[in-house]
Amino acid sequence: MVDVSSIVVSSRIRLARSLDNYLFPVNLIGEEGYSVIKDIADVVLPLGDYKIFTMQQLPVLDAEVMQEKHLISKKLLDNKDNGAVILSGDETISIMINEEDHIRAQCFLKGLSLDKAYDNLSRVDDAIINKLEIAYDPKLGFLNSCITNVGTGMRASVMMFLPGLTLAGEMDNVINLLSNQGLTVRGVFGEGSTSQGYMYQVSNARSLGMNEKDIIVKVTSTCLKLCEAENAARKSLIKDKEIELKDRVYRAFGTLTNAYTITASEFMKCAGEIKIGLALGFMKFKDNSLIDRLMFDALPSTLTKMSGEEALSDEDENLLRAKFVAKTLKNARIN
């Protein structure tokens, strides 16, 4: 059995859908945009514990926090005219309205859980398909604004922590290999972003010519193979560079528990080193998931929101981050 517990962080299923009776969001103006929001809300809100937020009415800081939590995209955040999001009470389901397509429905779950995420999202998707006029072609499948989303309209993504392969210098090879297999590897914040804290998203690059089950099976099996390679890389690193690795881990912990000021990028780098230590058993926490929560709580907008301020200067943000992280980690270790 492949050990995935310290490698796979979370899974996401995203379904893109477009309404046949409206222009694509980029061309929507005025009342048409609001009509799309209303049509979708009328279907989704009665399904359970859901709330809707429009980008026009949502405070900028709250929207930025949602983006940091991956609940919305930067593209939706910027669409103040007719963008909206519907969230489930537990925030595992997010339905972006008038992003690149009329509907971008997502389900997030911890661990390697693509099958369950798809099942959870299907209830919402089925209701949308049954009650709204969805753009669909019998041969091509679901029609969306971007060709990569034609077909199933599905993106299956897995967030993975890959320090072994990264430090071994293998990630470029991994990215090229997966690209040739119709898969893509991105940074923690999606397309165009870089890896932070050794975190990567692995997902299918296209949805045409495959059904949902095939995509889930392919991404899942690829992630399991990556887990095998990552575990092997970690063993090699321990064998060849154990002292160096331990030094990096403890220096990072020392920085996060003693720094007077720290930037978001330096924090993410140190947090990634500590995750290595926890994964390899060099360091033990009472709750190993604490560092994962910190990697979001210490992001700029989330940190500002927690401070109770509407905005922080870069200097104040870095001071607050250092204080908050040090306090959180103070009694986290098991000596």
Q: Which residues of 149-187 are buried (b: 16+ CB within 10 A; e: fewer)?
A: bbbbbbbbbbbbbbbbbbbbebbeebbeebeeeebbbbe
If pLDDT is split at 50, 70 and 90, which confidence band does 193 have? very low
Per-residue confidence (pLDDT) for residue 207, from 0 to 100? 84
Distances (CA, A) of 27 to 104, 285, 300: 17, 51, 32
pTM listed for this prediction: 0.92
- The per-residue pLDDT of the chain, averaged, comes to 93
Per-residue confidence (pLDDT) for residue 195, from 0 to 100? 62
Per-residue confidence (pLDDT) for residue 1, from 0 to 100? 63
Q: What is the Cβ-side half-sphere exposure of residue 120, based on CA atoms within 13 angstroms? A: 22
Asked if 153 and 160 touch (Cβ cutoff 8 Å), the reply is no
Is the pLDDT reported for residue 194 higher than 70? no
Per-residue confidence (pLDDT) for residue 293, from 0 to 100? 92
Sign of the dihedral through C-alpha 122, 123, 128, 131: positive
> 154-163, pLDDT tens digit by residue?
999 999 999 9
If pLDDT is split at 50, 70 and 90, which confidence band does 209 have? confident
- Which two three-digit tokens encode residue 245? 């690795």
Averaged pLDDT, 201-217: 92
Is the pLDDT reported for residue 10 higher than 70? yes
* Number of residues written out for the chain: 335
Proportion of the chain above pLDDT 70, given as a percent:
97
- Residues with Cβ within 8 Å of 78's Cβ and at least 6 positions away in sequence, in order, are none
If pLDDT is split at 50, 70 and 90, which confidence band does 87 have? very high
Phi, psi for 104 (deg, rounded to 5): -125, 95
Cα angle 61, 144, 70 (rounded to 5 degrees) comes to 25
Residue with tokens 């927690």: 306
